[in-house]
Amino acid sequence: MQALTTLGAAIGHLFYPHVCAGCGSDKLGQDTALCWYCLDELPLTGFVDQRDNPAEKILKGRLPFDAVHAGFYLSRDSLMEDLIYQFKYKRQIALGEQLGLLLGEQLKESSRFEPEALVPVPLHPKKLRQRGYNQATIIAKGIAKIIQVPIIEQVLIRKNFSGSQTLLSRMGRWENSRSLFCIENPHRLRNKRVLLIDDVLTTGATLESCGLQLAAIPGVSVSMATACISSL
Ligand SMILES: [Zn+2]
């Protein structure tokens, strides 16, 4: 049986070469997109237990939050820049989920993050159709596998400006005309500790906009986590 499984894996390998997304090496396990060498090279921030960390400093004073974490540094011409590019533009979905798993492991170790719901930053519907997946949702799926918290995507909605005004007005009093985002079905998050998820923290504008919407739901407290913090 073992021999058959190995043979099956070997044949699969011929048709679908399984190589590291970082360096192209074929010396990696079946359940990983990165070899041990590349995993070891990923630039950890260590922010998870650090109050007033650089990610929190970016968002401080712009919205109420409990804690912010970004798992890895993203710098120019780096391994991480290449990985994020492959994940967002080359359909390397397994790689994105693995970044989520790594982020989940970090969050699990910290008492600062004990979310009851994961909310990925929504992608514009047009972009979602083009790309076929929301990268923030893929990262959230990885996190959810580690910390066993549900992903809620029916509440924080990205407004579709090509949609009719009637539809927008039906979104009711939760709509904030200055924001690209709005809230539907607020009861699904009421009184919950929410972890807002995105791929990369740069200026913090998207997290601020989304977080303000979430924080307006009664009883909701917001924390945020991104795979990377950008220094580009
Ligand atoms: Zn590698």
CA of 116 to the centre of ligand 1 (A): 34
Pair 52, 121 in one domain: yes
CA of 31 to the centre of ligand 1 (A): 14
**Between vectors from CA 171 to CA 165 and to CA 173, what angle results, nearest 5°?**
110
pLDDT given at position 176: 43
* Tens-digit pLDDT profile for residues 28-72: 888 899 999 999 999 999 999 999 999 999 999 999 999 999 999
The DSSP secondary structure of 165-212, one letter per residue, reads HHHHHHTGGG--TTSSEEES-GGGTTT-EEEEEEEEESSSHHHHHHHH
pLDDT given at position 7: 60
Mean pLDDT, the chain, whole residue set: 89
CA of 79 to the centre of ligand 1 (A): 10
Pair 152, 115 in one domain: yes
Pair 29, 112 in one domain: no
**Which two tokens mark 200?**
């990369």
Where residue 147 sits, what CATH number does that domain have? Answer: 3.40.50.2020
* Tens-digit pLDDT profile for residues 93-110: 999 999 999 999 999 999
pLDDT given at position 160: 72
pTM for the model: 0.87
pLDDT given at position 181: 94
Span 116-141, mean pLDDT?
Answer: 95
CA of 149 to the centre of ligand 1 (A): 30
Pair 65, 136 in one domain: yes
CA of 134 to the centre of ligand 1 (A): 25
Q: Which domain holds residue 75?
A: 44-230
CA of 84 to the centre of ligand 1 (A): 14
pLDDT given at position 115: 98
* Pair 119, 196: CB distance under 8 Å: yes
* Tens-digit pLDDT profile for residues 65-86: 999 999 999 999 999 999 999 9
